[in-house]
Amino acid sequence: MPGKRKLPFDPIAEARRHWEGRWEQGAAMAAATSVMRGAQIILAAVDEAVAPFDLTFARYEALVLLQFSRKGSLPLGKMGDRLMIHPTSVTNIVDRLEASGFVRRVPHATDRRTTLAEITDEGRAVVEEATRAVTAASFALDGLNAKELEQLTRLLRRLRHSAGDFDEAPSHSEAETP
């Protein structure tokens, strides 16, 4: 992370050493802490890449979701399900995207109770530009090679599946131990 002072030691390895002197599951604690720290690093890098476009990671992710949808629009409730966030967070994200002109709210054609978020032409353009910036930043994962990225993805998919994140059984290749 730019401008951040590096520690002269690995704080997670040091925490694990102390942890294992008192409790069990030191490997699990170190893995969990590493995943959380990795997520913080990635989030900071993506936020920095999308900031010039008046976006945060959450707003960028919502725009990408709408860009990937068949019609460029989704019900707010479905957005919350897909993004795995609370309905209030979806409302706040859509409010900010709407204020920036990247989405508009439109009524559902057949269900008067449902409101859709629809990506605008300006939203489509900004998601393309922001995605170029995010990929140029390599999602802060440029310390890993292609094989390691696939391995990490497989491991985290297994973790997400075992935690009930989704119902689909892993494919044969994804179920293999890396």
pLDDT digits (tens, 9 = 90+) for 61-107: 999 999 999 999 999 999 999 999 999 999 999 999 999 999 999 99
Tell me what pLDDT residue 3 has.
57
Token reading at 75: 């019900």
Does residue 95 form part of some domain?
yes
User: How many C-beta neighbours within 10 Å does residue 116 have?
Assistant: 23
- Angle, CA of 120, 126 and 128, to the nearest 5°: 110
Residue 178 has pLDDT above 50, yes or no: no
Residue with tokens 């900071």: 44
Instruction: pLDDT band for 176, please (50, 70, 90 cuts).
Output: very low
- Flag the least confident range among 80-84, 146-150, 168-172, 173-177: 173-177
Domain containing 25 equals: 10-153
| Plot region of 121 (φ>0 → left; ψ -120 to 50 → alpha; else → beta) | alpha
User: What is the domain count for the chain?
Assistant: 1
pTM: 0.83
Residue 114 has pLDDT above 50, yes or no: yes
Which domain CATH number covers 106? 1.10.10.10
